[in-house]
Amino acid sequence: MVELDDDIAAVWEAVINGNAEWLANRVLTFNLTKESVLREIEKTPRTRKEKAFQTILKNRTFHGGILAKGSGLLKYGENGKGIRSRWYPETLAKRFLNLNHFAGRIDFRCDDGLKVLREFATNPDAVYFIDPPYTAGGKKAGKRLYKHYNLDHERLFTTCESLKGDFLMTYDNAEEVKRMARNHGFQMRSIPMTNTHHATMEELVVGKDLSWMDEFPAVHEPEAKYVVRKTKKKRPKKRVKRTRK
């Protein structure tokens, strides 16, 4: 697993390094109020596990779980529950304890994903799931959601073309993404997803061979946009009637 954001990386590092139970217990025993959250996230963390807990608090109590600069605490939340609307301590604790069972099998790196892709590019047995920030085609969602949103999308597609192994990549349903996928010889499928406002939208899945997805009814190939150019109609030539002398 590769993640560049240091806050998110702290959570996975805490799990991998044997602190999953500590996180689960911290979540279960934390008395969540607006005041206690603000007090906790304003502290300077002394350890990576403390930083991990701060990240979990922000993700569960900030609007849309957004950690990027400018995000803030939920005001109303779901059903007027405010910051408690996405705080499920028992569920969160259970997830950490479940992760603890196979944490030893995970190789986690706080690193640049493009760099790691190139590192394993020649390995035919490597399979990749890639979830880049949605900033292609002038989209602004990635800038709002992620701290590290700057990405050379064309470079990512070029790198994916060099991979000997298979990959699955998710993207925003943008025309620029479709163009890059076609230019690099990749297949695409549209899949339904629900955003933070519970509206149904479509995302793109990009890969080398996605025929296995065709058995799912909600999945389909994205429509291609074609430019129709108007052409001037040629006037028929006038026939000259010849008479014999």
> Taking Cα atoms as reference points, which of 190, 216, 205, 220 lies closest to residue 130?
205
Q: Where are the beta strands (DSSP E) in the chain?
A: 128-130, 167-172, 187-194, 200-207
Residue 74: count other Cβ atoms within 10 Å of its Cβ.
20
The answer to whether residue 239 is domain-embedded is no
SS (H, E, C) 44-84: CCCCHHHHHHHHHHHHHHEHHHCCCCCCCECCCCHHHCHHH
Q: Are residues 101 and 124 in the same domain?
A: no
Residue 207: count other Cβ atoms within 10 Å of its Cβ.
21
- Number of domains the chain is built from: 2
Helix axes 20-29, 89-99, angle to 10 degrees: 170
Residue whose entry in the numeric block shows the structure tokens 């705080």 = 87
- Calculated CA dihedral for residues 178, 180, 184, 186, nearest 10 degrees: -30
Residue by residue, pLDDT tens for the chain (245 residues) are: 999 999 999 999 999 999 999 999 999 999 998 899 889 989 999 999 999 999 999 888 875 555 545 555 555 455 556 678 788 999 999 999 999 999 999 999 999 999 999 999 999 999 999 999 877 765 555 555 556 567 899 999 999 999 999 999 999 888 999 999 999 999 999 988 765 556 677 889 999 999 999 888 888 777 665 454 555 555 555 555 555 54
Last residue within a domain, chosen from 105, 130, 165: 105
Structural domain boundaries enclosing 18: 6-105
Q: Are residues 123 and 95 in the same domain?
A: no
The answer to whether residue 87 is domain-embedded is yes
